[in-house]
Every structure is written in structure tokens, then in C-alpha cells.
């Protein structure tokens, strides 16, 4: 006898009893729910929803502030186009625009 198993579609896999309540999901910025694979290991009180990945630059102000950059320096960097808050890629900080803790 040759071993065999049913080949399920992705939709069918999502409804398998063995995976019920274990599939991960996230909500995209446009409101769509995105279903993902289950965690690699099972844990009690398992997490099933993850926050959506932030865009490049979404946390730049808080990160640089935590690193000691003042609000004035952050404004200068933003005005010069060196940092952007989630709308564009973050550019490298050049040494000519102030230093930490100013």
C-alpha cells in the first residue's frame, strides 16, 4: 500500500479542526484582516493576533528622542529631509546637523 493523504486548498486548511483557534492574524492599515500560519510552538494563552509592521520611519522621533536628540534637533533633521515620519524612507543622519543631547 502506498501512503497518501488528501491535499487541501489553503481555504480548507484554514478550517481544519487541528488548526482551529491557532492561526495568526493581523489587520492591515487599510482594515483588511490578513490570516497567517500558526506559531511554530504551542503555548498556553497563545497569542493569535499581531500588530501590523510599522512603516519605515514611524518610530524615528521616539527612537532618536530616546537616544538623546532634543525636539529642536529632530525638527531640524525633519526640515532638512534627513528624517521622515512614516511617509518616506529614513535617510542617514549626517554629522553636520547637531549632536545628541542638544
Q: Which of 50, 51, 52, 60 is nearest to 87 (CA)?
A: 60
Sheet of 49-50, strands arranged across = 33-38, 23-27, 49-50
**Cα–Cα distance for residue pair 52/32, rounded to 1 Å:** 11
User: What average pLDDT does the segment 76-102 reach?
Assistant: 58
Most confident of 25-34, 38-47, 79-88, 90-99: 25-34
pLDDT tens readout for residues 45-81 = 667 788 887 777 788 888 999 999 999 999 898 888 8
Give me the pLDDT at residue 66, please.
94
Instruction: Give the pTM.
Output: 0.43
Residue spans of the domains in the chain: they are 10-50, 54-102
Question: Rounded to whole angstroms, how far apart are CA atoms 89 and 75?
Answer: 17
The answer to whether residues 79 and 58 touch, using CB atoms and an 8 Å cutoff, is no
94 pLDDT tier (thresholds 50, 70, 90): very low
Amino acid at each position: 500500500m502506498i501512503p497518501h493523504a488528501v491535499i487541501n486548498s489553503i481555504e480548507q486548511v484554514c478550517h481544519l479542526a487541528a488548526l482551529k483557534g491557532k492561526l495568526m492574524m493581523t489587520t492591515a492599515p487599510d482594515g483588511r484582516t490578513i490570516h497567517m500560519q500558526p506559531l511554530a510552538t504551542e503555548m498556553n494563552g497563545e497569542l493569535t493576533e499581531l500588530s501590523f509592521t510599522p512603516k519605515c520611519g514611524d518610530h524615528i522621533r521616539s527612537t532618536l528622542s530616546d537616544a538623546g536628540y532634543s525636539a529642536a534637533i529632530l525638527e531640524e533633521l525633519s526640515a532638512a529631509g534627513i528624517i521622515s515620519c512614516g511617509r518616506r524612507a529614513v535617510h542617514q543622519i549626517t554629522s553636520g546637523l547637531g549632536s545628541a543631547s542638544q
